[in-house]
Amino acid sequence: MERRWVMEAANGCKGGLDFDPMKDYMVLNGSQRIAIAVLCTSLALLSALENLAVLYLILSYHRLRRKPSYLFISSLAVADFLASVIFACNFVNFHVFHGIDSKAVFLLKIGSVTITFTASVGSLLLTAIDRYLCLCYPPMYKALLTRGRALATLGVMWVLSALVSYLPLMGWTCCPSPCSELFPLIPNDYLLGWLLFIAFLFFGIIYTYGHVLWKAHQHVASLAEHQDSQVPGMARMRLDVRLAKTLGVVLAVLFICWFPVLALMVYSLTATLSDQVKKVFAFCSLLCLVNSMVNPIIYALRSREIRSSAHHWLGRWRKHLRRRGLEGNKEVPRSSVTETEADVKINPWPDSREPYC
């Protein structure tokens, strides 16, 4: 009973808007605060730079930014970039510097963190659906998923993520409802609702990729029956295994990065947490940053077109640096024929082939 009173006080149910009792949620000691600050800042910086690079490579080329597949990847990069910046700033401010805000500002901050991670998972689901349509219905893909429909779907996803995430700011706080053991001012019933929403998104991702793998296996089996002379058995097996490995990596990353955090959230709904468990949750929360850092590698940099875009950009940058160096050394520039040959070697862009439909 005393523990519950402390939690209510920390959430403003007792003592008005006095936020000093929120220190009950600030459980890290000195060395742990330093570790959190270093890890969170490093992961967030790397994640932000990766996602900015992906956005630049997609948006700087007209034919990439007009394709629905790359619109979904751009949405994922935007969500992960915002998640890295907003989460790291607020997380470090709260747990390391013990920053205390007014009720409205705190709810705005936690809602902003929630929307970025929710939109990230939503973008992953849309990417999975896009790949399902591309692989399972290739003749109808361009008619089914136009650029306008992709933008409309992304708009609905972001609006829904914002609506779900900012419900506490709109008034759904924990007074007089039971307060969360992990998040100040957040009621357990809202946390349960958000967990169910995220579980629905994850189920959609797993089901979609599972269906993709099943359809691919059926296609390989069909090739084995009707085109034995054209498609060697080893080639068919490599196609099936390669797709299985790719989807296995996607689902394994999702599980590793999200399961510990979601499991502790579910556990907090049914039990009173000790400070040690809260410390574990704080460090497990950094896995969400790891997910935002790994997403560009899995979904963007594995794309041949984006890699070609990167080579194209690097080629132009090297050419610019070489020219500056030649000007600085007052050397005679090479002939135009030599420059053209060098550019062709550096720039594989014209020969790139799109991996998506």
Tell me: pLDDT of 172 over 50: yes
Alpha carbon distance 51, 56 (integer Å): 9
Cβ atoms 200, 121 nearer than 8 A: no
Query: Are 87 and 113 within 8 A, CB to CB?
Result: yes
- Answer whether 296's CB lies under 8 Å from 51's CB: yes
Tens of pLDDT, residue by residue over 296-317, are 888 877 777 777 777 777 777 6
Instruction: Summarize pLDDT for 186-240 with one digit per residue, the tens.
Output: 999 999 999 999 999 999 999 998 888 887 767 666 666 655 545 454 444 455 5
CA distance 292 to 108: 21
Evaluate if residue 182 carries a pLDDT over 50: yes
Mean pLDDT of the chain: 79
- Distances in Å between the Cα of 168 and the Cα atoms of 114, 133, 164, 183, 333 are 11, 36, 9, 11, 64
More confident call, 9 vs 106: 106
Predicted local confidence at residue 314, as pLDDT: 74
Asked whether residue 340 carries a pLDDT value surpassing 80, the answer given is: no
- Please report, in angstroms and rounded to a whole number, the separation of the first and last CA atoms in the chain: 59
**Residue 157: band (very low, low, confident or very high) from pLDDT cuts 50, 70, 90:** very high
- Would you place residue 102 in the very low, low, confident or very high pLDDT band (cuts 50, 70, 90)? confident
179 strand-pairing partners: 187
Residue partners of 165: CB distance under 8 A and separation at least 6? 111, 112, 114, 115, 118, 194
CB of 19 within 8 A of CB of 12?
yes
CATH of domain 27-223+235-318: 1.20.1070.10
pLDDT at 43 over 60: yes
Return phi, psi of residue 298, to 5°. -75, -45
For residue 25, pLDDT beyond 80: yes
Whole-structure pTM value: 0.80
What local confidence, expressed as pLDDT, does residue 20 receive? 53
Q: What's the per-residue H, E or C state across 37-60?
A: HHHHHHHHHHHHHHHHHHHHHHHC
**Which residues, including other chains, have CB under 8 Å from residue 215's CB and lie 6 or more apart?**
132, 135, 136
Q: What is the pLDDT of residues 114-149, one digit of tens each?
A: 999 999 999 999 999 998 888 888 888 888 888 899
Confidence of residue 319 (pLDDT cuts 50, 70, 90): confident
Strand partners, 187: 179
More confident residue, 232 or 165: 165
Residue 167 to residue 101: CA distance in whole angstroms: 18
Round to whole Å and give the CA distance between 292 and 44.
9
Q: Is the pLDDT of residue 38 over 90?
A: yes
Rounded mean pLDDT, 82-100? 90
